[in-house]
A and B are shown apart, each in its own frame.
Chain A
């Protein structure tokens, strides 16, 4: 528990540092919207992954998607 608290603190520090580094480049309102629509889900995901490390991800969704095609290719 203590370890994950440290991890959350480090990730938050890194995220704040990123925001400070990029802040002057964000002049355009559209760029700002796009930046935050990448930044906020990313940050949330980082915190979620620290708390629940076994969260199902894109790989688990991708496997069943391509499995029929792979089977077809390897049978013939």
Chain B
């Protein structure tokens, strides 16, 4: 339905920027409230899960190279059941993206725009993302590539001046409570890692398919590295007080006073946050609208973008007083069911189908998939 040529590297950059988005600010609080001084271990423990998710998605894409998860789940589960599962899956995408939008509006209202109505902040954000998404897959995928140097240099501008304040004694005693606490922290991180599954909507447009798996693994590794560095920096500087703050990264930026000239660097944090959140929301919005259009068999996904973004703004406010519940175990299980459960089920089904299908039948299917 849509033709576009993007490279594996661009998809990798898009996905790790999108997943890093909300984790940069809120993850240190969420994880360190359970793990205390072993906080640096949790991202490393979450790394294998990220690899598993990405491997499942790339493997499924190798079996059905020109299809997204929505299309091959209809093929594997049968049409009626497939459509039902797809609609729930698309609701999951819209719902989780809506909470990212809510986190963004809350952050803006708490730190910078105190008197602006939240509706205005949310709608102007979603309008930018809707315009990006309507421009097509290439814009969505290349936009983070364009802004990556800006994001990285701004993050470094926060990290570099804080190096002198690092106190590594904050991490002692190492593993005083055993591995259980870091594992719980890694479980908390699962409210970010399953977002890598949205990659399946972009993989059909990749032109150099041979390198996809390595780029995808690299994407997860870079995400882990960024989260690991953030945890180390935040905990080494703020220490045991980290769980008290809602946005420890912000505190870090306010803390900086280099030669009495570099001060008030929190505006840099806001710039990074806005850019990264735009990437994250357009990542989800494009997935949801393309998925819905493919699920119902429409020629173009573009007319669906604005109604879906309207529903996102509404879902971000509907009966939600604050977004802390996103990190509760119930909600993380919801993430994991769609992030790992659904791709794993589909991969199992397709393996069974390949194993037990007759040889001539298999050839037929091959011809059908290589469009």
List of B residues within 8 angstroms of A43 by Cβ = 310
5 extra interchain contacts, Cβ-Cβ under 8 A, other than A46-B310, A59-B320? A25-B303, A45-B314, A62-B331, A66-B334, A70-B333
B-binding residues in A (CB < 8 A): 7, 10, 14-15, 18, 21-22, 25-26, 28, 30-31, 34-35, 38-39, 42-43, 45-46, 49, 54-60, 62-63, 65-67, 69-70, 73-74
* Chain B residues numbered 328-352 whose CB sits less than 8 Å from any CB in chain A: 328-331, 333-334
**Counting CB contacts under 8 A, is B80 at the interface?**
no
Nearest chain B residue, comparing its CB with the CB of A18? B306
Is there an interface contact between A39 and B307, defined as CB atoms closer than 8 Å? yes
- Nearest-neighbour CB distance to chain B for A61, whole angstroms, equals 10
B285-323 CB contact bits vs A (8 Å, 1 = yes)? 000000010001111101110111011001101111000
List the count of A-B residue pairs having beta carbons below 8 Å apart. Answer: 89
Is there an interface contact between A14 and B123, defined as CB atoms closer than 8 Å? yes
Nearest chain A residue, comparing its CB with the CB of B301? A31
User: Do A55 and B319 form a contact, CB below 8 Å, given A30-B298, A62-B330, A74-B329?
Assistant: yes
- Nearest-neighbour CB distance to chain A for B349, whole angstroms, equals 23
Is there an interface contact between A34 and B311, defined as CB atoms closer than 8 Å? no
**Counting CB contacts under 8 A, is B245 at the interface?**
no
Nearest chain A residue, comparing its CB with the CB of B312? A42
Is there an interface contact between A18 and B310, defined as CB atoms closer than 8 Å? yes
Would you give 10 A-B contacts (Cβ < 8 Å), ordered by A?
A21-B306, A26-B303, A31-B304, A49-B314, A54-B319, A59-B319, A62-B334, A63-B325, A63-B330, A69-B330
**Counting CB contacts under 8 A, is B95 at the interface?**
yes
Q: How far is the CA of A15 from the CA of B330 in the complex (A)?
A: 34
Q: How far is the CA of A46 from the CA of B119 in the complex (A)?
A: 11
Q: Which of B302, B306, B308 has the most CB of A within 10 A?
A: B306
List of B residues within 8 angstroms of A45 by Cβ = 311, 314, 318
Nearest chain A residue, comparing its CB with the CB of B334? A66
Nearest chain A residue, comparing its CB with the CB of B319? A57
Is there an interface contact between A30 and B296, defined as CB atoms closer than 8 Å? yes
List of B residues within 8 angstroms of A69 by Cβ = 330, 333
Select B318's contact among A10, A49, A67, beta carbons within 8 Å.
A49
